[in-house]
Amino acid sequence: MTASSVPITDPAKRAARVVALGLLRDVLTARDRLDDPSDADALHDFRVALRRLRTWLRAFRPVLRDTLRGKVMRRLGDIADATGASRDLEVRIEWIDRSRRQLRGDERKGASWLIKRLRQEKVEYDAELRRALDDNFDKTTRRVEKALSRYEARVEGEQSYEEVAGEIVSAHLEALDAAMAGVSSIHDRSQAHAARIAAKRLRYVLEIVAPSDSDQARAMVSLKDLQDKLGDLHDAQMFGSQLASLVAEYKAASANNGNSATNGVVSHVDPVAGLQALLERLRRREKESFRLVIPVWHATASGLHLE
């Protein structure tokens, strides 16, 4: 979907729905790919397509709310939430597998132990995702399509697509600027996470509404880079915290039981060395990501005329 596919003079209510229906078709196409076990990118692409649709619906809510109810939006959110754990585990397993190749001895054994553990978790979350899709996806997407296929128009006073899109972009720019203003150290975790979400939402809107020859379109590369750096920072922090908790849990269980055990399961491998090696890598990744965030933000802000 491109900006040129919908006339900027169209009523905002019509244009927003035309774009949204195109994004919904992308979601349906990505959903079909989930049934192909050989498609390694299916879950990621489905998640992105769903995120783009939800971002657009949220951004243009003022001109969609007459037919698109909050209940339907919440159901889309529930489906998106169901994809989160599986995708997070997929990414983490891939990262550990790459890191494991550089480890030796007990560290490598510990990394292998963690991969096995996470794969078992993923099986459970994949089943939950499948149930969520089977129970709610078709019904929810039909309701979204029905809601987007009509709208209530006024004889006079309808805002144009260009007017509403401009207001939405301005609001998203302000949100990103405000969020980044709170990111001054590596400890500003919630602020950095909010900035990541703001950058993502702004990019998804700009990809559709920004004219190809505009400064905003040219700033898209640095905006995506900012989103990626903030994403790396968030992932390293979240996974690092979970690994630190797992190390503490495992040590406590071993001390209490006199053997290598956690969650009541006895293991013949002591994974602590591997977990700590991975944790050190995550801490380095966290520092490196944060080191790059501010310079990338300055480049992004300059391109978007926020400085």
Residues 22 and 125 occupy one common structural domain: yes
Per-residue pLDDT, 268: 66
Please tell me what DSSP assigns to residue 11. B
Per-residue pLDDT, 252: 82
- Cβ neighbors of 73 (< 8 A, separation 6 or more) are 54, 57, 58
Residues 252 and 187 occupy one common structural domain: yes
| Type of residue numbered 239 | F
Per-residue pLDDT, 156: 79
Per-residue pLDDT, 267: 55
| Type of residue numbered 216 | Q
- Cβ neighbors of 88 (< 8 A, separation 6 or more) are none
Among candidate residues 115, 62, 94, the one with its CA nearest the CA of residue 235: 94
Domain assignment present for residue 175? The answer is yes
Residues 170 and 299 occupy one common structural domain: yes
Domain assignment present for residue 50? The answer is yes
Structure tokens at 91: 């990414």
The total number of structural domains in the chain stands at 2
Domain assignment present for residue 151? The answer is no
Residues 169 and 307 occupy one common structural domain: yes
Per-residue pLDDT, 20: 96
Distance CA 112, CA 99 (A): 10
The last residue of one of the domains, among 91, 112, 144, is 144
Distance CA 245, CA 247 (A): 5
Distance CA 50, CA 152 (A): 26
DSSP H helical ranges for 11-133: 12-33, 42-59, 61-64, 70-100, 105-132
Per-residue pLDDT, 251: 80
Return per-residue pLDDT of the chain as tens, 307 residues.
444 478 888 999 999 999 999 999 999 999 999 999 999 999 999 999 999 999 999 999 999 999 999 999 999 999 999 999 999 999 999 999 999 999 999 999 999 999 999 999 999 999 999 999 999 999 999 999 999 999 888 877 789 999 999 999 999 999 999 999 999 999 999 999 999 999 999 999 999 999 888 889 899 999 999 999 999 999 999 999 999 999 998 888 777 765 545 554 445 678 999 999 999 999 999 999 999 999 999 999 999 988 6
Per-residue pLDDT, 108: 95
Residues 29 and 136 occupy one common structural domain: yes
Domain assignment present for residue 212? The answer is yes
Per-residue pLDDT, 258: 56
Query: Residue 261: in which H helix or E strand, if any?
Result: strand 261-262
The last residue of one of the domains, among 117, 144, 171, is 144
Per-residue pLDDT, 185: 95
Distance of CA 207 to the CA centre of its chain: 16
DSSP string, 166-217: HHHHHHHHHHHHHHHHT--STT-HHHHHHHHHHHHHHHHHHHHHS-TTSHHH
Residues 232 and 296 occupy one common structural domain: yes
Per-residue pLDDT, 270: 84
Per-residue pLDDT, 282: 96
Q: Give the domain extent around 224.
A: 160-307
- Kindly report the average pLDDT of the chain as a whole number: 91
Backbone φ and ψ of 191, nearest 5°: -65, -40
Query: pTM of the prediction?
Result: 0.89
Residues 176 and 138 occupy one common structural domain: no
Residues 99 and 124 occupy one common structural domain: yes
Among candidate residues 129, 118, 114, 113, the one with its CA nearest the CA of residue 89: 118
Residues 47 and 136 occupy one common structural domain: yes
Residues 134 and 195 occupy one common structural domain: no
